Amino acid sequence: MTDTDGVKMSLDALADMSRTILTRHGLAPAHIEAVTRTIVAGERDGCASHGAYRLLVCINTLKTGKVVRDAEPRVAEPAPALARVDAGGGFAQLAFERGLPLLVQKARANGIAALAINHCVHFAALWPEIEALTEQGLVAFACTPSHAWVAPAGGTRPIFGTNPIAFGWPRADSPPFIFDFATSAVARGEIELHRRAGKAIPEGWGVDADGHPSTDPQAVLQGAMLTFGGHKGSALAAMVELLAGPLIGDLTSAESIALDAGAGSSPIGGEFVLAIDPAGFLGAEAAAHIARAEALFTGITDQGARLPSQRRYDARARSMRDGVVLPRALYDDLQALLA
Amino acid sequence: MTDTDGVKMSLDALADMSRTILTRHGLAPAHIEAVTRTIVAGERDGCASHGAYRLLVCINTLKTGKVVRDAEPRVAEPAPALARVDAGGGFAQLAFERGLPLLVQKARANGIAALAINHCVHFAALWPEIEALTEQGLVAFACTPSHAWVAPAGGTRPIFGTNPIAFGWPRADSPPFIFDFATSAVARGEIELHRRAGKAIPEGWGVDADGHPSTDPQAVLQGAMLTFGGHKGSALAAMVELLAGPLIGDLTSAESIALDAGAGSSPIGGEFVLAIDPAGFLGAEAAAHIARAEALFTGITDQGARLPSQRRYDARARSMRDGVVLPRALYDDLQALLA
């Protein structure tokens, strides 16, 4: 099972390790299952920064006391096409699972619907939530602020979170078309992985505390990250703040990091999720038009370009067959959580 | 009124010139008013590529016979939170105006609603539509494909349109927060303006017909433009194709340019518009949370960064006071349309 470079594990073994660690640190059983599902899914899909590594982040947040370990999500219906889940200060995963059936039902009944998750602690990727909706045949969009770590285009001080945007489109005979990316130049987890590995980061990822461009991961973590795509990425980051912040009565990234007050917990606030039923606009013709989208995907892949989640689906196929390999240092850090 | 560099006009005079030109070329009166409003708004706001210049594009499309000059938009209600306007092959502006009241009503009744405009010819910016929604106190999002002019990240052949995305957020004491940008590295109109001016374009805007990077605007117009922000911009461009194409039963950019068959008309297809009522999630607390968003905007502007539409609002204030100045060559081209 073990070699010098890494530790090979089955997905079931990883899930068991996750449960054991989370139990040891006092998370309630329903949350343990929901969190473990996203941790294992991330590692399975080759997302190093959102896989087993996030257990360290999660335990750190538990230690800060900034997350409610046994929060019971409460679902509400503020408007005919809107659903809302008060996560009660717990992790977002269970709140999403509890709100999902109502969101699906409302999207089917009205053609479109949105779900707000409020008062949650968020540390996961968004694509697991998107996949839960594409599995129901729905088109999906989600976004969430984080902590204020990212400067706006033309500025040098953090105001935005890494503010991911995710979108999904169901496909009949293939895994869904899904993208999920930070509006920062990279995910903060990537910079943290560089710091752990002692490697410099590329230019364009961030500036130091004085606002000067830097390739030192530690300096950028203490300064400000930059958005992708200049003023366009910056505009999208602002949209995420607004949609998943004030629009749903929840915190901006600046308010989240102020609340954290240096404790180093995961971001606290809200998430905005949108679901659209293709049958809403198209009725019985929906399947034919959804199928027509396949020509778009073929037009992309036929010229040697890749669809957004292809690498993830390839990793998934490998992991389902062969299991995953955790870096030795990460494995040791996780084992230390059981000491 | 006239000097060697440009021709100064009042906004009313520009509107009259637009009406005269469009009348001469056979557009129906209701369309003339709707089209003139966006042309004048574009020039007023300093958007050179979406102002008076677009009259040339519009007349060219009329000459191709690809637009229905007297189309009568038909409004439908496919689902409780969805509205649909069949533009009947006419320009998009009038179709949007006809669908707007139903979209607003549905957003207020359900918390969120979407509008599909189908079978329209599209040549304008999206922010006029976004402003019409923020004026009603609604949060708004819109997107539309165009002609397949843009290669996906990792590819070299056109498959996406320039596929703009626009978003708006109402503000109590300021013009709304609005962004509206092409998911291509630049708007195609920018490349056309460089070609008209005989200027090279920056690297990164496009490739020639052989897939090689080029700074020759003509070569890129005949080759492929590139998306902004690498694979992230490419993913967003695909989202626009899907939302405003197959999801609403309308054309992708590849299908639009195939239908054009070299005639050189503006893109034909659909537009997707989303409206969210802040009172939906928040009820009576909406105003307080909307006001809280002001801290985000202040956090951006206080560090010397600009909000997305600020330049446009500044130009608007100048134009309302002083009128606009059309480049001499453009003015002459427009006058030639009256010959």
Nearest CA in chain B to A118: B281
pLDDT of residue A4: 63
Is B194 inside a domain boundary?
A: no
The answer to whether B193 touches B47, Cβ cutoff 8 Å, is no
Lowest model confidence (mean pLDDT) among A89-93, A335-339, B278-282, B307-311: A335-339
Nearest CA in chain B to A298: B159
Residue B313, domain extent = 6-64+309-336
Q: For residue A29, give the amino acid letter.
A: P
The bridge status of strand A268-276 relative to strand A324-327 is: unpaired
Q: Does the beta carbon of A204 lie under 8 angstroms from any beta carbon of chain B?
A: no
Domain limit, last residue, from B267, B283, B299? B283
3-state secondary structure of B210: coil
Average pLDDT for consecutive 10-residue bins of chain A (339 residues)? 77 98 97 98 92 94 94 98 98 98 98 98 94 98 96 96 97 96 91 92 94 95 96 98 98 94 90 98 92 95 95 97 96 93
Q: Are residues B140 and B244 in the same domain?
A: yes
Tokens 């009124």 appear where? B1
Chain B nearest CA to A61, separation (Å): 26
Is B297 inside a domain boundary?
A: no
Q: Are residues A142 and A114 in the same domain?
A: yes
Is A110 inside a domain boundary?
A: yes
Q: What CATH number is associated with residue B268? A: 3.30.1370.60
Which burial class, exposed, middle or buried, applies to B105 when counting CB atoms under 10 A from its CB (0-12, 13-18, 19+)?
middle
Q: Are residues A124 and A242 in the same domain?
A: yes
Domain limit, last residue, from B265, B283, B301? B283
A282–B82 CB contact, under 8 Å: no
Q: Are residues B111 and B258 in the same domain?
A: yes
Mean pLDDT computed over B142-151: 96
Distance CA A73, CA A87 (A): 4
Is B50 considered catalytic here?
yes
pLDDT band at B5 (very low <50, low <70, confident <90, very high): confident
pLDDT, tens digit, for every residue of B15-64? 999 999 999 999 999 999 999 999 999 999 999 888 999 999 999 999 99
pLDDT of residue A1: 45
Query: What contacts 24+ positions apart, CB below 8 Å, involve B67-75?
Result: B67/B91, B67/B121, B67/B265, B67/B266, B69/B26, B69/B27, B69/B28, B69/B31, B70/B28, B70/B31, B71/B28, B71/B31, B73/B98, B73/B99, B75/B99, B75/B102
Is A248 inside a domain boundary?
A: yes
Nearest CA in chain B to A153: B305
Q: Are residues B45 and B173 in the same domain?
A: no
* A242, A273, A311, best to mutate vs chain B, most B CBs in 10 Å: A242
pLDDT band at B1 (very low <50, low <70, confident <90, very high): very low
Is B203 inside a domain boundary?
A: no
Is B303 inside a domain boundary?
A: no
ipTM for the whole complex: 0.96
Q: Are residues B92 and B44 in the same domain?
A: no
Q: Are residues B57 and B102 in the same domain?
A: no
Catalytic residue set of A: 49-50, 190
Q: Are residues B234 and B150 in the same domain?
A: yes
Q: Does the beta carbon of B109 lie under 8 angstroms from any beta carbon of chain A?
A: yes
Helices (H), chain B: 11-24, 29-44, 53-64, 92-110, 127-134, 188-197, 217-222, 230-243, 253-260, 278-282, 286-301, 310-322, 328-336
Q: Are residues B149 and B259 in the same domain?
A: yes
Share of chain B above pLDDT 70, in %: 99
Mean pLDDT computed over B212-236: 96
Is A212 inside a domain boundary?
A: no
Q: Are residues B23 and B154 in the same domain?
A: no
Q: For chain A, how many structural domains are there in total?
A: 2
The answer to whether A134 touches A161, Cβ cutoff 8 Å, is no
Is A249 inside a domain boundary?
A: yes
The secondary structure of A228-269 as a DSSP string is TTHHHHHHHHHHHHHHTTGGGT---HHHHHHHHTTS-PPPEE
Neighbouring C-beta atoms of residue A312, cutoff 10 Å: 19
Nearest of A52, A39, A41, A33 to residue A325 by alpha carbon: A52
The single-letter DSSP state of residue B4 is: S
pLDDT of residue B291: 84
Q: Does the beta carbon of A78 lie under 8 angstroms from any beta carbon of chain B?
A: yes
Q: Are residues B277 and B166 in the same domain?
A: yes
Residue B3 has pLDDT above 80, yes or no: no
Global pTM value: 0.96
Q: Are residues B171 and B242 in the same domain?
A: yes
Q: What CATH number is associated with residue B10? A: 1.10.1530.10
